[in-house]
Amino acid sequence: MKKGKIAMTITIGIACFALVTVMMMQFKVVNETDITAIEEMQESELKTELANWKSRYEEIDAQYQEVTQRIEEYKNDEESNSEASQLVQEELEQTNTLLGLTDVHGEGIVITLKSGENTAAISADDLLIIVNALKFAGAEAISINDQRIINTTDIVYITSGDFIKVNGQRILEPYVIKVIGNQSHMESAVTGTGGKVDELQALDHTVTIEKDNDITIGKYDGEIETRYIE
Amino acid sequence: MIFIAILIGCILGAILGLNAPMISYTYSSYLAIAIIAALDSVFGGIASIIKKNFDLKIFISGFFGNAILAILLTILGQKLNVDIYLAAIVVFVWRMFMNLGTIRRYYVEKWSDMIKEKATAKKAKENTDKEKSEKA
């Protein structure tokens, strides 16, 4: 009984000791940090912050309303402008087509030229004359060996390598000229008396003309640069 | 005997606590709840001593177990964004008042018994004095 009582007393004493130690530590912390001051400060800070944010929110909301209104206006404008823009778009497409920047297809003819064995090879001039004749007859799109003929296209003979360059690209025989346009006009432009095809055939070159109701001509795959046009 | 132990414990604890290094403010909330739990355990211990059903094992396990559990609950509450430590404080303080009530009742009764005994003793003495005087 006595032993139990002593143990109990000591235990309670140690418990009190631990408790008060921790309590004192806590008191010190609380004193040093001054919790209430921190809390008050934080609260007031938060309050001002909140007020700031609120006013800012209102400002931004007003801005947002304004912008939405403007967007609405623009939308209305756009609707009235859509017809015009569609026209512009169509025009742009047409221009691109004419410039040769789009793939095109339609009825036309395919002229295949192959030099005869015993005569001088087909020259760049011959090709030029044919292209010119086709253009004169109203060709809408022309390509030689898949090189689209556009307004800046060059057809030149390179003496050193004995080959022809179109659009700066080397092309080899047989030369396949694809033309989109009125078939009979195209054909008559290069055949008959004075027609280049007949002339070449007379010179023992192999030239065939095929009519096709759906020729596809690829777009010009280079870039059109203007350096001096202002 | 018990009060001397408590007093010595408190004084030594205060000295050590005042000289202990500072703990970070972040942990002070956990420490606070642990203090409340330990305080509750100490009052519970005193109350059980008075009721004469003090058990050393229960006291020690309660002292540390309650404090640790309270800290863990507080941490959990912070993680869940629920103020669980409020519930712990309510429970501990409520029990503290119960235990304090037990202690208070014990001492009040002891005191009133003492007064009553004194009064009866006085009466008895007066009676004996009276008898003596009557005899004389």
Q: Which residue in A15, A23, A27 is closest to B41 by CB distance?
A: A15
Q: Do A22 and B35 make contact, defined as CB atoms within 8 angstroms?
A: yes
Instruction: Say what the pLDDT of residue A34 is.
Output: 62
Q: Do B42 and A10 make contact, defined as CB atoms within 8 angstroms?
A: no
Say if CB B6 and CB A12 are below 8 A apart: yes
Position with higher pLDDT, A54 vs B2: A54
| Complex-level ipTM | 0.76
Give start and end residues of each alpha helix (H) in B1-136: 2-19, 25-51, 56-80, 84-135
Rounded to two decimals, the pTM is 0.44
How do residues B62-81 score in pLDDT, each as one tens digit?
889 999 999 998 889 888 98
> Shortest CA distance to B97 belongs to which of B40, B51, B34?
B40
Judging contacts by C-beta atoms under 8 Å, the chain B residues touching residue A33 are 25, 28
Instruction: Provide the shortest C-alpha distance from residue B121 to chain A (in Å).
Output: 32
Does residue A32 have a pLDDT over 80? no
Mean pLDDT of A23-52: 74
The alpha carbon of A214 is separated from its chain's Cα centroid by a whole number of angstroms, namely 28
Judging contacts by C-beta atoms under 8 Å, the chain B residues touching residue A25 are 17, 20, 22-23, 31
Q: Which residue in A7, A16, A25 is closest to B20 by CB distance?
A: A25
CA dihedral B65, B66, B72, B73 (to 10 degrees): 150
Instruction: Say what the pLDDT of residue A71 is.
Output: 93
Does residue A56 have a pLDDT over 90? yes
Instruction: Provide the shortest C-alpha distance from residue A49 to chain B (in Å).
Output: 22
Pairwise CA distance, residues B32 & B24, whole Å: 13
The two three-digit tokens of residue A205, written as one number: 């070159």
Question: Quick check: helix, strand or coil at residue A54?
Answer: helix
Element (H, E) at A79: helix A35-99
Instruction: Say what the pLDDT of residue A7 is.
Output: 82
Instruction: Say what the pLDDT of residue A58 is.
Output: 94
Would you call B89 an interface residue with chain A, using a CB distance cutoff of 8 Å? no
Does residue A3 have a pLDDT over 60? yes
Phi-psi region of A194 (alpha: psi -120 to 50; beta: other; left: phi over 0): left
Q: Which residue in A8, A16, A30 is closest to B10 by CB distance?
A: A16
Q: Do B59 and A7 make contact, defined as CB atoms within 8 angstroms?
A: no
Mean pLDDT of A5-28: 85
Pairwise CA distance, residues A180 & A105, whole Å: 7
Model confidence at A100, pLDDT cuts 50, 70, 90, reads: confident
Residues in chain B: 136
Say if CB A22 and CB B35 are below 8 A apart: yes
Judging contacts by C-beta atoms under 8 Å, the chain A residues touching residue B103 are none
Backbone angles phi, psi at A225, to 5 degrees: -110, 140
Q: Do B49 and A12 make contact, defined as CB atoms within 8 angstroms?
A: yes
- Give the contacts of A199 (CB within 8 A, at least 6 positions apart): none
10 Å Cβ neighbour count for B37?
Answer: 27
Say if CB A134 and CB A149 are below 8 A apart: no
Mean pLDDT by 10 residues, chain B (136 residues): 84 86 77 89 88 86 90 89 87 92 91 91 87 80
Instruction: Say what the pLDDT of residue A36 is.
Output: 59
Please give the single-letter amino acid code of residue B79.
K
Element (H, E) at A126: helix A124-136
Would you call B58 an interface residue with chain A, using a CB distance cutoff of 8 Å? no
Strands A175-180 and A163-166, bridge-based pairing: unpaired
Q: Which residue in B8, B32, B39 is closest to A13 by CB distance?
A: B8
Q: Do B45 and A15 make contact, defined as CB atoms within 8 angstroms?
A: yes
Does residue A138 have a pLDDT over 90? no
Instruction: Say what the pLDDT of residue A38 is.
Output: 58
Q: Do B59 and A11 make contact, defined as CB atoms within 8 angstroms?
A: yes
**Least confident stretch, A89-103, A104-118, A171-185, A191-205:** A191-205
Instruction: Say what the pLDDT of residue A162 is.
Output: 78
Say if CB A147 and CB A153 are below 8 A apart: yes
Say if CB A97 and CB A202 are below 8 A apart: no
Model confidence at A67, pLDDT cuts 50, 70, 90, reads: very high
Instruction: Provide the shortest C-alpha distance from residue B113 to chain A (in Å).
Output: 25
The number of C-beta contacts closer than 8 angstroms across A and B is 104
| A105: β partners | A216
Instruction: Say what the pLDDT of residue B135 is.
Output: 77
Does residue A69 have a pLDDT over 90? yes
Q: Which residue in B9, B20, B39 is closest to A13 by CB distance?
A: B9
Instruction: Say what the pLDDT of residue A37 is.
Output: 58
Q: Do B25 and A23 make contact, defined as CB atoms within 8 angstroms?
A: no
Q: Do A19 and B42 make contact, defined as CB atoms within 8 angstroms?
A: yes
Q: Do A32 and B34 make contact, defined as CB atoms within 8 angstroms?
A: no
Instruction: Say what the pLDDT of residue A217 is.
Output: 87
CA dihedral A159, A162, A167, A171 (to 10 degrees): 180
